Amino acid sequence: AYNFNAGPAALPLEVLQQAQETFVDYNGIGMSLMEISHRSKEYEALNAETASLLLELLGIQSGYQVLFLGGGASMQFAQIPLNFLKPGTVGSYIITGSFSEKAYQEAQIVGEASIAASNKEGKWRSLPKASEIVIDPKSSYVHMTTNNTIEGSQWSDIPDTGGIPLIGDMTSGILSRPIDASKFGMIYAGAQKNLGPSGVTVAVIRDDLLAEEPKHLPVMLRYTTHAKNQSLYNTPPVHSIYMVNLVLKWVKEQGGVEAMEKRNVEKSKLLYDVIDASGGFYSGNIDADSRSIMNVTFRLPSEELEKQFVKESKDHNFVGLAGHRSVGGIRASAYNAVPHEACQALAEFMKDFQQRNS
């Protein structure tokens, strides 16, 4: 199958095979990792190694803590304002798609939230320019989504927040390209696209944001609890974290995020080139300068043709090409683990489909 699912998404075949080998007997201990204590030396070593691999791949040497959390990236939409929104401050949101909008709505439930910029009126086609971003000086943080999974856009220049901590939802873009992590006070990502299976969410938080313990919150909701306990305050999703460990090693072996970016640019270009050369048969949902290298979104001349495209694509072993139910159209999610050949095959299929239907 050519797996273009948006998430949970393709995992590297080598990683799945390796996980299969160790599923029953983890590194010769005679048991599965899932059967042993998360306080065992084997698990503690894995936990520490996974955190340090993630920092290494993000290019972070010091000053940040890695947390493995539950509840998906959606839980972070609530946990961020709960931890960082102090009375008299606001959470500022740059809204560039439905996930950043959800994050903003959650913050409004917790406290005061304001919109620093939004491109909703322009149907998310292009990202706000630096001059369009207005940050309330009372902000305790600014939240952005670096890659918009549903709409298919990605930021190239990270906005300057004038010293206010920037929080990036990188769920669908983490490790797809180099990013200057030092510009962020916090990065978070649900694992199920570029990091592993669902079940764990990673958060990378700068030390100064962990300095104060939010004692008004239940213990499990405080980032400080998980930071102080190396994500072992309660039982972590050990198998998901193990898979993240294998994926991180795979990314490193492939040459790290620079190599990932090179591949992802080439892969997505195969599809964007077909769209741009189609004379309007395929039309991209996003302006060329804001296009994502992870989620390629486009429309066909009619909804009937889109349905037919999805149906025929299934017959050719393409999986997951229907656009998100909220926007329709087509979306090809070509995360790190999607091989070049899959995009090549899809580009050929798109050309052939156009020829037969125009």
Residues in the interface with ligand PLP (CB under 6 A) total 11
Token output for 12: 């590297």
292 binds ligand PLP (CB under 6 A): no
Cβ-based neighbour number of residue 24 at 10 Å: 10
Residue 71 and residue 233 in contact, taking contact as beta carbons nearer than 8 Å: no
Q: Is 192 marked within a binding site? A: yes
Residues of this chain, 144-173, that bind ligand PLP according to CB under 6 A: 145, 149, 169, 171-172
Strand partners, 250: none
Structural element, H or E, at residue 243:
helix 238-254
8 binds ligand PLP (CB under 6 A): no
Q: How far apart are CA 207 and CA 117, in angstroms?
A: 27
Q: How far apart are CA 43 and CA 260, in angstroms?
A: 28
Helix (H, G, I), strand (E, B) or coil at 311: helix
Q: How far apart are CA 225 and CA 213, in angstroms?
A: 8
- Fill in the amino acid letter for 309: F
Of 29 and 319, the one with the shorter C-beta distance to ligand PLP is: 319
Of 50 and 354, the one with the shorter C-beta distance to ligand PLP is: 50
320 binds ligand PLP (CB under 6 A): no
Least separation in angstroms between residue 74's CB and ligand PLP is 3
Chain centre to alpha carbon of residue 85: 23
Least separation in angstroms between residue 237's CB and ligand PLP is 12
Q: Is 149 marked within a binding site? A: yes
Q: How far apart are CA 283 and CA 323, in angstroms?
A: 13
Q: How many CA atoms lie within 13 A of 142 on its CB side?
A: 25
Q: Is 73 marked within a binding site? A: yes
Of 169 and 261, the one with the shorter C-beta distance to ligand PLP is: 169
Per-residue x/- track, 98-127, ligand PLP (CB under 6 A): -x----------------------------
327 binds ligand PLP (CB under 6 A): no
Residue whose C-beta lies closest to ligand PLP: 72
Q: Is 276 marked within a binding site? A: no
Per-residue x/- track, 234-253, ligand PLP (CB under 6 A): --------------------
Q: How far apart are CA 4 and CA 316, in angstroms?
A: 13
Q: Is 291 marked within a binding site? A: no
Asked if omega into 87 is within 30° of 0 (cis), the reply is no
323 binds ligand PLP (CB under 6 A): no
72 binds ligand PLP (CB under 6 A): yes
Of 268 and 354, the one with the shorter C-beta distance to ligand PLP is: 268
What sign results for the dihedral spanned by CA atoms 202, 205, 207, 210? negative
Structural element, H or E, at residue 65:
strand 64-69
Annotated binding site for pyridoxal 5'-phosphate: 73-74, 99, 149, 169, 192, 234-235
Binding residues, as ranges, are: 39, 73-74, 99, 149, 169, 192, 234-235
Residues that bind ligand PLP (CB under 6 A): 7, 72-74, 99, 145, 149, 169, 171-172, 190
